Amino acid sequence: MKKISQIPESERPREKLRLFGPRTLSDSELMAVLLGSGSGRHSVLELSGRVIRLIDESRGRPELDRLLTVEGIGLAKAAVVSAALEFGRRRIRPEGMKVIIPTQVLPIVQHFADRKQEHLLCISLSGAGEVIACRVVTIGLVDRTQVHPREVFADPIIDRASAVIIAHNHPMGPLEPSSEDREITRRIRDAGNTLGIVLLDHIIFSKKGYYSFMEHDEMIGL
């Protein structure tokens, strides 16, 4: 990965933020701004990528001690990341957002579109259709061996959710679901019916667009 000094000035995270605003930055670039600098062995972009992976693996709530396990992250950087995540939860949370149609959750998950691995996400909804939480369930290839209904529903049960929406990013290739995507959706839908938690939709998304099982009338006919 290139060092900041090797990147054209207008494409550097801080300069890009100043010129175009924070919404134009990827998660990794935003994290690079928070970290401020790299370490002796790793550029700030390398560090930011490692921290983002840890955050995803920790479902958005990494302990300070886990952040400190990232080579090049000391107490000062770990404290900034931990504080920023908590501030974001308090001030810019999706909780309470009303969902009328499932694809309204796209703004909550869209920032995962730049991940190089597939991330399966689960959004818990209350009986009133309000977002309770959005969490990472698995990272890596989304297949039937990795995605088990108990992993999907573990947190929604604690949330006392009435419904869920699942979504996963496609780092490359078409958005059209595979036969395995359909099988996973069926298994999760059936498990949810047993638990009394409705699976409203499975959304596959990328930087270029999305595919909604519900919009294609696939949720009933699976």
The residue among 105, 91, 42, 102 whose CA lies nearest residue 70 is 42
In a domain, residue 56? The reply is yes
Q: How far apart are CA 194 and CA 75, in angstroms?
A: 45
Do 136 and 205 share a domain, yes or no? yes
Q: How far apart are CA 56 and CA 150, in angstroms?
A: 19
3-state secondary structure of 165: strand
Do 9 and 109 share a domain, yes or no? no
Do 119 and 198 share a domain, yes or no? yes
In a domain, residue 16? The reply is yes
Given this model, what pLDDT does residue 9 score? 77
78: domain range?
4-91
* Amino acid at position 142, single letter: V
Q: How far apart are CA 161 and CA 83, in angstroms?
A: 28
Share of the chain above pLDDT 90, in %: 54
Q: How far apart are CA 123 and CA 161, in angstroms?
A: 9
Q: How far apart are CA 160 and CA 39, in angstroms?
A: 43
Threshold 0.85, pTM exceeds: no
Which residue, of 70, 91, 112, is where some domain finishes?
Answer: 91
Average confidence (pLDDT) over 68-97? 83
In a domain, residue 205? The reply is yes
Q: What is the pLDDT of residues 110-157, one digit of tens each?
A: 889 988 889 999 999 999 999 998 999 988 865 544 788 999 999 999
Higher model confidence: residue 37 or residue 211? 211
Do 204 and 148 share a domain, yes or no? yes
The residue among 86, 132, 128, 142 whose CA lies nearest residue 105 is 132
Q: How far apart are CA 68 and CA 109, in angstroms?
A: 27
- Number of compact structural domains in the chain: 2
Where do we find the tokens 């600098």? 37
